[in-house]
Amino acid sequence: MSITLKVCLKLPSLSMGKVIAGREGLNNIVTSVSVMEFNDTDEPDILSPNELLISALFCVKDDVDAQCRLIKKARRSGDVGLVLFYSDLILGEISPKLIRMADYLNFPIILMPENDMGLKYSDVISDVTEAIYMDRSADNYFVSDTMQILSQSP
In the prediction, which pLDDT does 134 show?
87
Contacts of residues 93-100 at CB distance under 8 Å and 24 or more positions apart, as own/partner, are: 94/20, 95/64, 95/67, 97/64, 97/65, 97/68, 98/21, 98/64, 98/67, 98/68, 98/71, 99/20, 99/21, 100/21
Instruction: Please tell me the predicted confidence (pLDDT) of residue 88.
Output: 83
Give this prediction's pTM: 0.83
Which residues, including other chains, have CB under 8 Å from residue 34's CB and lie 6 or more apart?
48, 51, 52, 53, 54
| Residues 4-24: tens digit of each pLDDT | 999 999 999 999 899 999 999
